[in-house]
Amino acid sequence: MTGLAVNIDHIATLREARKASYPDPVAAALVAELAGADGIVCHLREDRRHVQDRDVRLLRKVVQTKLILEMAATSEMVGIALDVRPELVTLVPESREEVTTEGGMDLIVHNKSIAETIGALQNNGIPVSIFIDAEPEQIKLAHQAGADMIEIHTGTFCEANGSARRRQAFDKIVDAAKLAKKLKLGVNAGHGLCYNSIKAFKGLSEIDEYSIGHSIVARAALVGMERAVRQMRELIDAL
Ligand SMILES: CC(=O)[C@@H](O)[C@H](O)COP(=O)(O)O
Ligand SMILES: NCC(=O)COP(=O)(O)O
């Protein structure tokens, strides 16, 4: 069965908009699990714009499925990961000015440092995924760097204008997923996926799990977290 990992970052975004104590992303994670999530994702950004250290530590205590920590490959974040011990770390590129993650990790540029970060985490029993663009070169480099999994950046496909661009972006995802499986990497996919774009993935059995946050939280604001997660769960079950 294809997995659904629910990213609760933007519950924290709503809380941080007022620097309030609610809504609590930890509570959202528990509801998401009850509604059928296979995992909970949180991205502890260096600037702490949404998820806070307290959230990650509490999530570690209460999440019953699996906790996936998205983070930059910095020594501060590696220290936190070694302490919190999530079931999976996903390394993502970060830029302070971006509104959201703008692309995958460039392993042509960061190959050596990423391999070191992967080693530091794996040597302590923490599996590592790398968030990368659907480019064959990046996938081969992720494999060479020793990653356990990759997460294919789906944002380019989700944002593509026009059917030709959309098709081209999707074909790259298909090729990337097939290549990664051939290299015996686990394959996750995420960023920008919504209740409509997820339907395009029907039949793409190479993808183990989808990581989806913003669209679920946006729907949850209107219909509630449980319904929003269940509706996404049903779409993924129908793929
Ligand atoms: C890597 C990724 O796709 C997620 O981290 C997602 O971007 C949610 O976090 P932000 O919205 O802060 O980028
Ligand atoms: N890794 C992708 C993720 O966790 C969720 O991204 P989004 O659905 O919030 O764009």
pLDDT, position 96 = 83
pLDDT, position 114 = 96
pLDDT, position 97 = 86
Choice from 7, 46, 50 to test ligand 1 binding pocket (greatest atom count within 8 A of CB)? 7
Measured between alpha carbons, how far is 41 from 29 in angstroms, rounded to an integer? 9
Q: Is 201 in the pocket of ligand 1 (CB under 6 A)?
A: no
Q: Which domain holds residue 40?
A: 3-237
Specify the CATH number for the domain of residue 181.
3.20.20.70
Report which ligand 2 atom has the smallest distance to the Cα of 151: 1
33 in active site: no
Report which ligand 1 atom has the smallest distance to the Cα of 10: 11
Q: What DSSP line would sit under 203-237, residue for residue?
A: T-TT--EEEE-HHHHHHHHHH-HHHHHHHHHHHHH
Q: Which member of 110, 143, 153, 191 is catalytic?
A: 191
The single-letter DSSP state of residue 182 is H
Q: How many domains does the chain have?
A: 1
Report which ligand 1 atom has the smallest distance to the Cα of 49: 12
Residues 98-141: tens digit of each pLDDT: 888 889 999 999 989 999 999 999 999 999 999 999 999 999 99
43 in active site: yes
Q: Is 211 in the pocket of ligand 2 (CB under 6 A)?
A: yes
- φ and ψ at 148, to 5 degrees? -80, -35
Residues 182-215: tens digit of each pLDDT: 999 999 999 999 999 999 999 999 999 999 999 9
70 in active site: yes
pLDDT, position 171 = 98
Q: How close is the Cα of 101 to the center of ligand 1, in Å?
A: 5
Is 50 annotated as a binding-site member? yes
Coil, helix or strand at residue 119: helix
Residues 50-99: tens digit of each pLDDT: 999 999 999 999 999 999 999 999 999 999 999 999 999 999 999 888 88
ipTM: 0.94
Is 110 annotated as a binding-site member? no
